[in-house]
Structure 1
Amino acid sequence: MDISARIEAAIGNAIAEGQGGVAPPKLASALDYAVTPGGARIRPTLCLHVALACGDDKPALSDAAAISIELIHCASLVHDDMPCFDDADIRRGKPALHKAYGEPLALLTGDSLITAGFEVLARVGDADPKRALELIRILGIRTGMPYGICAGQGWESEEQIDLSAYHKAKTGALFIAATQMGAVAAGQAAAPWEELGDRIGEAFQVADDLKDALLSEEDMGKPAGQDEANARPSAVAELGVQGAIDRLNEIMSGAIDSIPACPGRDGLVQMVRKTAERLVPAKAIEAAE
């Protein structure tokens, strides 16, 4: 089974668990709506690539680690789109969940996906309790406060914003989770993998800032120009378009250099290089010229 199929099968199983028993039908439907279609699935893909590079000796743990991160990510998108935050109408080319199901069900869907992420990890705890507990710890740190995606969203309510801390929490947190959890699932220490996740996360944020500034809603499948409209901090506002592109290239070069020694390092280097090439679409580069 290839990585994409592995991820989709595991996510399908997790959502089915949430829809089982006597689950409210509309909420059960909203859970599926929130995670499919799934976009690039870059976070779980990165997690599994790291696990494979480190040996992937317990695939059930690796799968659980990967999809727990994706479930948290999908939850964050549901919440981010709501009127109290970005008030976005479109996500992944279709109506945002609160537009399709209403705000109460959107809030409950996001909450359900967060709890599902942790439940997935707990369910495979018997495979290796020590590793599973560490996976739960990392996911908790990168979801909540002060270093997780909740902190990232919280920075938008501050008058003075630390752009580095904002980016590291809002976008970098789940990429750090992906690299660290992939390593831990395969029996390796988490700490050496933080820099790689941090750098890839920052690169994705800079790329997202560029796309938001340069592409259309049709190109992105979600509203464009939101950083400027909502007066949010961005790499483009701080550095300009060309400065942001230069910064993106610098970050990804550092990401490759930061990959720790592991049996599959060469393959992981190739994966990161391909990711860098896909970060900013040609349309955005053309728009910048």
Structure 2
Amino acid sequence: MRAASVALELVGLASHAGGGFAPARLRRAFAGRMDLLLERRFAVARAGASFLRDLPPLLEADVSQGALLVGLVAVTARSLCRVRDADGLNRTLARFGARMHGEPAPAAHGPLAEILEALEPPVGTRPVLGPRAVAAPRGAADALELEMLRLLDDASPTVRAAAAYLVARGGKRVRARLVLAMAGDVEGALAAAARVEWLHQVSMVVDDVMDGAAWRRGSTSLHTLHGEPWAAAVALELLRHVLAGAPAGERARLALAGVELARGQLLETVEPPSDEAGYVAMVAAKTGALFGLALATGADLAGRDEVPAHGLGVEVGVAFQIVDDLLDLGAPDTGKPSLGDLSNGRPTWPLQVLMERLEPHERDRLAGGPDVAWILERARTTGSFEHCRDVAHERLERARRGFEDDHGALPAAVHALLDGLVDRVS
């Protein structure tokens, strides 16, 4: 199977660099993991297909494409269902907790009241359902979070409950803050920032499903609570509501970012990169799309050219992802499991750099179960950690200087945020 074999590219690359053969146990582990990921993608595609026929009448064609953040194009999702008629498709989807029309079907284990009780929001938060679903105040991000929930005033109780849970988990809201920093104090900036953040939230829900991640930001992931198809269906419905309320120009930008996210997810899944250039192309789509969207949205609101701002944002996203992948090597305080990329067979460039610099017997050690402390120690002693960190810094600085040389100074608030993105490792 092609999808299973491409997951071995990382191991194959390292074997070639080290002049030896990758351990058979490691190859089997990667192949087995990819089989599990393929099964998840089938389930996500089935859930996502339930909304494909609802989207075109409501939204523009390009927006309906952007909604497919499952990393599959519409025709792929339809073909996976293997059902020709609507009734047959509904019967198939019913087995996965979704249906063709209307809101996502309730979780199989009980009515809405049981769903809400099972969500168990973190201590100190209180999701309240109703016309104004809000979470208890948690600090400076309150205005943004209230706006995020206000955008869903007309959504179903199920969707509002899921939204309240996602918001209550917290987060840095970096992409939304970039919108606000670039736009300044202008009308519509808060709503635009909230929509960008929702696109990010939806992408994380789908990412967790596809990776089988049980935790996000220190809380149980949505699909762990209610199943993968239910989580994917709710994520798509969240996105549908957010897109429907956006102004035309903003909606188009959101849709294009969604298409890029899907392309990046597809590259990671079907054509995993085996070198730095391939990695950059993948993360420019998968991560850079949202950073590009954030800065382009803010620039447009501020009356600046959005095209160069988008280009800067894509470069920011690449630098951010390099640092994020470095943190995966051993930073348990991020709220994500360490070595999650290695466990999922995800071909990150920092892992590739490390594998290239390990001795054959050290690569063999990985097959016996990765040791977080040992991986981090070898990443530092081989120079892999510092090399990747320096590349992230250099890419960001080069992009920032190039933008300001040609298009004028960035706001001080943007500079502060950009500095914080790459200074997370030392």
Normalised by the length of structure 2, the TM-score is 0.55
Residue 256 of structure 1 contacts residue 273 of structure 1 at CA under 8 Å; is this kept in 2? Answer: no
Pick aligned residue for 2:176 from 44, 47, 50? 44
Is 2:262 the counterpart of 1:119? Answer: no
1:151 is aligned with what amino acid?
R
Deviations 1:92-143 (A, max 9, x none): 1011101123323211221022213312313xxxxxxxxxx32222211111
The 3 A distance-change label for structure 1 pair 246 and 8 is same
1:226 is aligned with what amino acid?
G
Pick aligned residue for 2:414 from 237, 260, 268? 268
Using the alignment, how far apart are the partners of 1:234 and 1:159 within structure 2?
A: 13
Residue 69 of structure 1 contacts residue 177 of structure 1 at CA under 8 Å; is this kept in 2? Answer: yes
Residue 93 of structure 1 contacts residue 222 of structure 1 at CA under 8 Å; is this kept in 2? Answer: yes
Using the alignment, how far apart are the partners of 1:89 and 1:267 within structure 2?
A: 34
Using the alignment, how far apart are the partners of 2:339 and 2:395 within structure 1?
A: 24
Return the offset for 1:262.
5.2
Q: Show structure 1 runs of 5+ residues with no match.
A: 123-132
The answer for the alignment partner of 2:290 in structure 1 is 174
Residue 66 of structure 1 contacts residue 178 of structure 1 at CA under 8 Å; is this kept in 2? Answer: yes
1:247 is aligned with what amino acid?
V
- Secondary structure of 1:214's aligned partner: coil
Return the offset for 1:70.
0.7
Pick aligned residue for 2:352 from 238, 247, 250? 238
Residue 135 of structure 1 contacts residue 184 of structure 1 at CA under 8 Å; is this kept in 2? Answer: no
The 3 A distance-change label for structure 1 pair 229 and 202 is same
Using the alignment, how far apart are the partners of 2:394 and 2:296 within structure 1?
A: 22
- Secondary structure of 2:320's aligned partner: helix
- Secondary structure of 1:222's aligned partner: coil
Using the alignment, how far apart are the partners of 2:161 and 2:183 within structure 1?
A: 32
Return the offset for 1:204.
1.4
Q: Show structure 2 runs of 5+ residues with no match.
A: 1-138, 354-383
Residue 68 of structure 1 contacts residue 116 of structure 1 at CA under 8 Å; is this kept in 2? Answer: no
1:221 is aligned with what amino acid?
G
Residue 159 of structure 2 contacts residue 238 of structure 2 at CA under 8 Å; is this kept in 1? Answer: no
Return the offset for 1:78.
0.8
Residue 292 of structure 2 contacts residue 317 of structure 2 at CA under 8 Å; is this kept in 1? Answer: yes
Using the alignment, how far apart are the partners of 2:290 and 2:238 within structure 1?
A: 15
1:120 is aligned with what amino acid?
G
Is 2:142 the counterpart of 1:142? Answer: no
Using the alignment, how far apart are the partners of 1:185 and 1:153 within structure 2?
A: 29
- Secondary structure of 1:16's aligned partner: coil
Using the alignment, how far apart are the partners of 1:230 and 1:178 within structure 2?
A: 28
1:109 is aligned with what amino acid?
V
- Secondary structure of 1:81's aligned partner: helix
1:171 is aligned with what amino acid?
T
2:148 is aligned with what amino acid?
I
Pick aligned residue for 2:166 from 29, 34, 47? 34
2:296 is aligned with what amino acid?
Q
Query: Larger % of helix: which?
Result: 1
Residue 69 of structure 1 contacts residue 117 of structure 1 at CA under 8 Å; is this kept in 2? Answer: no
Using the alignment, how far apart are the partners of 1:31 and 1:157 within structure 2?
A: 27
Q: What percentage of aligned pairs have identical amino acids?
A: 30
Which structure has the greater CA radius of gyration?
Answer: 2
- Secondary structure of 1:233's aligned partner: coil
Residue 44 of structure 1 contacts residue 66 of structure 1 at CA under 8 Å; is this kept in 2? Answer: yes
- Secondary structure of 1:231's aligned partner: coil
Using the alignment, how far apart are the partners of 2:162 and 2:204 within structure 1?
A: 13
Deviations 1:164-190 (A, max 9, x none): 221101111000000001111223221
Residue 149 of structure 2 contacts residue 163 of structure 2 at CA under 8 Å; is this kept in 1? Answer: no
The 3 A distance-change label for structure 1 pair 256 and 160 is closer
Using the alignment, how far apart are the partners of 2:322 and 2:160 within structure 1?
A: 35
Return the offset for 1:273.
2.4
Using the alignment, how far apart are the partners of 1:168 and 1:79 within structure 2?
A: 18
Normalised by the length of structure 1, the TM-score is 0.79
